[in-house]
């Protein structure tokens, strides 16, 4: 989809392209282009390069060190970044912890925590889901007992992305069992080096290690690390989750994935020796998902525009999360279909860059199985799509 740009926005897009071309490290771009797993150092290097201009905290107001971009500029940056093989900006600090801290935190907390996020010297993780409290997050059981000048935290979090990298966690804990479950939840910032914290990896089906279980055993958290008011954590969590679900639409990344599938289909032979992309059935499926992506893009822009005008994403964020993840999954299915039998071999050494021999099949076939398997979890994390449909039914349809 082409969006008509003003001269100012066109100049901005040109500036972003020049900056990325001049500053994106070649080794990182090569990994992204070949779907090789990135290290913590890869992510941090790129975010620190962006941080020199405040670009990786694009949603932040200028008062807190953000670039003051318009919705259109944010959209352009994300799409151009994906198009030019930039790594994803890890959201846990810039898009999650940061906005909660500068919106609901106090001046001392802003002074303590925002600089490390802004400079990409501190890595954050999200402590929400628990073994018995995933999509039903309000039932969480991790307990924070008031011990005067600190809380004593005991419990367990699960599916904690990059907890093994993290310096800090923003964490939902139960400080009261009175009244409705939502009213007893508080929002704590927890130093991951605190005694009593254990991080245990969860190996994934496609061979990566990004998720973890985190155990808390008599972990002391100073009272000054409580965000806002005790018992109001559910309000802050909903604020964060609505914005996370808008991000889960991942328009730029999905457009880049679709472009790669087109390139693969143009290189792979189809019936009669013609390129697969010319096969009528495959082409029809490809154009159908492209049309769906265009529709999603317009919906995401409308939602972002409403947010920029002071509104809330509301249940529209659930719609975007559902459609965005389903479209990404469909594109990964087309990618596997395009490489045919070459999608079957499991080649983890190709994905981590350690291979010392040629991969089986063409170079673009190696990541196909990984992409397909990884995208299965997209409709589960961030609140499963089934839960998102319940939200839509309740808030939009009154059911």
For domain 248-395, the CATH architecture is Up-down Bundle (1.20)
Q: Where in the chain is the domain with CATH 2.40.110.10?
A: 124-232
Catalytic residue among 78, 130, 206, 244: 244
Please indicate whether residue 244 is annotated as part of the active site: yes
Number of Cβ within a 10 Å radius of residue 204: 14
The residue count for the chain: 399
Q: Where in the chain is the domain with CATH 1.20.140.10?
A: 248-395
Half-sphere exposure of 267 (CA within 13 A, CB side): 14
d(CA 303, CA 232): 26
pLDDT value of residue 1 = 46
**Which helix (H) or strand (E) segment is 156 a member of?**
strand 150-157
* Longest distance between any two alpha carbons in the chain, whole Å: 76
- Residue 390: phi, psi to the nearest 5? -65, -40
Which residues, in sequence order, are CB contacts of 224 under 8 Å at separation 6+?
A: 108, 109
Q: Block means of pLDDT (10 residues each) for the chain, length 399 residues?
A: 74 97 96 87 96 92 91 88 93 94 97 96 95 83 96 97 97 90 93 98 82 98 97 90 63 90 89 88 95 90 74 78 92 90 71 67 75 82 83 85
Overall pTM surpassing 0.75 (yes/no)? yes
Pick the CATH number of 124-232 from 3.30.1150.10, 3.40.50.720, 2.40.110.10, 1.10.1740.10: 2.40.110.10
């Amino acid at each position: 989809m082409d969006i008509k740009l003003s001269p100012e926005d066109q100049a901005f897009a040109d500036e972003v392209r020049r900056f990325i071309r001049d500053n994106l490290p070649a080794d990182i771009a090569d990994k992204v282009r070949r779907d090789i797993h990135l290290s913590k150092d890869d992510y941090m290097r790129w975010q620190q390069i962006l941080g020199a201009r405040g670009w990786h905290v694009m949603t932040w107001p200028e008062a807190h060190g953000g670039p003051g971009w318009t919705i259109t500029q944010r959209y352009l940056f994300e799409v151009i970044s994906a198009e030019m093989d930039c790594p994803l900006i890890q959201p846990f600090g810039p898009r999650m912890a940061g906005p909660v801290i500068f919106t609901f935190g106090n001046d001392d907390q802003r002074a303590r925590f925002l600089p490390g996020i802004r400079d990409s010297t501190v890595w954050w993780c999200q402590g929400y889901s628990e073994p018995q409290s995933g999509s039903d997050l309000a039932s969480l059981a991790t307990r924070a007992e008031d011990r005067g000048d600190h809380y004593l935290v005991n419990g367990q979090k699960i599916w904690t992305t990059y907890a093994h990298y993290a310096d800090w966690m923003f964490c939902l804990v139960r400080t009261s069992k009175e009244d409705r479950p939502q009213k007893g939840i508080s929002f704590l910032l927890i130093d991951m080096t605190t005694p009593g914290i254990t991080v245990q990896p969860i190996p994934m089906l496609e061979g990566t290690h990004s998720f973890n279980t985190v155990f808390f055993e008599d972990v002391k958290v100073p009272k000054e690390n409580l965000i806002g008011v005790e018992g109001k954590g559910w309000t802050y969590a909903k604020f964060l989750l609505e914005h996370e679900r808008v991000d889960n639409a991942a328009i730029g990344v999905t457009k880049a994935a679709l472009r790669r599938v087109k390139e693969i289909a143009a290189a792979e032979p189809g019936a009669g020796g013609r390129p697969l992309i010319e096969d009528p059935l495959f082409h029809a499926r490809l154009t159908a998902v492209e049309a769906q992506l265009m529709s999603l893009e317009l919906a995401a822009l409308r939602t972002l525009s409403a947010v920029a005008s002071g509104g809330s994403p509301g249940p529209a964020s659930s719609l975007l999360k559902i459609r965005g993840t389903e479209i990404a999954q469909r594109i990964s299915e087309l990618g596997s279909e395009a490489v045919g039998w070459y999608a079957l071999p499991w080649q983890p050494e190709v994905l981590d860059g350690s291979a010392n021999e040629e991969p089986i099949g063409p170079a673009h076939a190696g990541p196909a199985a990984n992409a397909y398997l990884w995208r299965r979890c997209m409709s589960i994390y961030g609140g499963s799509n089934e839960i998102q449909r319940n939200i839509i039914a309740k808030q939009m349809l009154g059911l």
